Amino acid sequence: MSDEIPQIGLGTWKNKGQETCAEAVEAALDAGYRHIDTAQIYGNERHVGEGLQNSDVPNDEVFVATKIWNNNLKYDKSGKKHHDDAYESALRSRDLLNVDTIDLLYVHWPAEDYGDGTLEALDRLYDEGVIENVGVSNFTPELVREAQRKLDAPLVANQVEMHPLLPQDEMLDFADDAGIDVVAYSPLGRGKALDLPEVQDVAEKHDATPAQVCVAWSIERGAKPIPKSENPDRIRENYGALDVSLDSDDVEKITSVDERERLIDPGFAPDW
Ligand code: A2P
């Protein structure tokens, strides 16, 4: 697998049902997706692994990303095995996903026991080839810079909420400077962005759907969106965004939507 994060990924948040999740992964690979995003907390790494196995697409052509949950961020260098240890939990994720290597392992949130030990565990996983790339998620620019300073391994991405209601201008500029990708989660604003008149106008102009426009808008701005769907038709529809080319007026129209809303903001979130 190349180091490059593919343009569109399948989000699997809340897709917990064994069959729906494995089928969604299979449908996505069939539609052309080569990036599947999951997390320990989603409780579906095993089902993602089943989808990968069931698909005709060879596993080594698929970029598989997962995230270490907040209560698994400690690192015990003495070698004792703890189930909540970042190193051990990554090995477990790899087993559940049934892959040789995890293409990208993120710290899900800079929360709970996140700290230098977490980054040391990631460096070890990287050195040992358990993971191909290190990423972070829900990090502020300051926290990304700090992680970059402390890690030996390169940091390739910050995965953040991004959609027309939260366009993340500063994060995109920062990521350019820092040499990392922005992976955009909830690029449809969990469905909320689909009703925006600006999105609908642009969709009509391009004979596309509002979801395709949201995904295309994300790509046009340099991010790597991971729309979540459990439905094979919508999974295919979202991938069709690659055929929609927005011009700068379209992008501007959507970026300058008046309404702003951060949809995912738990108590343990950083001070954004
Ligand atoms: P479903 O899984 O039933 O398709 P986001 O990626 O922004 O978090 O949005 C995910 C939400 O949007 C889910 O509720 C998902 O439902 C829905 N969704 C995904 N793709 C589409 C689409 N093409 N059209 C309408 N809703 C969609």
Domain boundaries, the chain: 10-188+223-229
Contact between residue 176 and residue 223 where contact means Cβ atoms under 8 Å apart = no
- Phi, psi at 102, each rounded to 5°: -85, 125
**pLDDT in the model for residue 80:** 85
Q: Which atom of ligand 1 is nearest to the CA of 13?
A: 8
**Ligand 1 mean position, distance from CA 237 (Å):** 10
In angstroms, the CA 151 to CA 195 distance is 41
Q: 29-34 long-range CB contacts below 8 Å, 24 or more apart?
A: 29/55, 29/56, 29/57, 29/62, 30/55, 30/56, 30/57, 31/232, 31/235, 31/236, 31/239, 32/239, 32/242, 33/6, 33/8, 33/9, 33/235, 33/239, 34/6, 34/61, 34/62, 34/63
Rg, the chain, Cα only = 18
Q: What is the pLDDT along the chain (272 residues), one digit of tens a residue?
A: 556 899 999 999 987 766 789 999 999 999 999 999 999 999 999 999 999 999 999 999 999 999 999 999 999 988 888 889 999 999 999 999 999 999 999 999 999 999 999 999 999 999 999 999 999 999 999 999 999 999 999 999 999 999 999 999 999 999 999 999 999 999 999 999 999 999 999 999 999 999 999 999 999 999 999 999 999 999 999 999 999 999 999 999 999 999 999 999 999 999 99
Sheet holding 35-37, edge to edge: 10-11, 35-37, 63-68, 104-107, 134-137, 155-161, 181-185, 224-226
Nearest CA to ligand 1 atom 27: 191
What's the pLDDT score for residue 81? Answer: 86
CA 220 to ligand 1 centroid distance, Å? 20
Look at residue 19 in the predicted model and tell me its pLDDT: 75
Asked if 239 is an active-site residue, the reply is no
pLDDT at 14: 81
> Residue 245 has what pLDDT?
96
Rounded Cα–Cα distance for residues 208 and 84 (Å): 45
Mutational pocket test of ligand 1: of 185, 195, 229, the residue with most ligand atoms within 8 Å of the beta carbon: 229
Task: State the pLDDT at residue 15.
Answer: 75
E strand or H helix that includes residue 68: strand 63-68
Fold of 10-188+223-229: TIM Barrel (3.20.20)
70 CB under 6 A from ligand 1? no
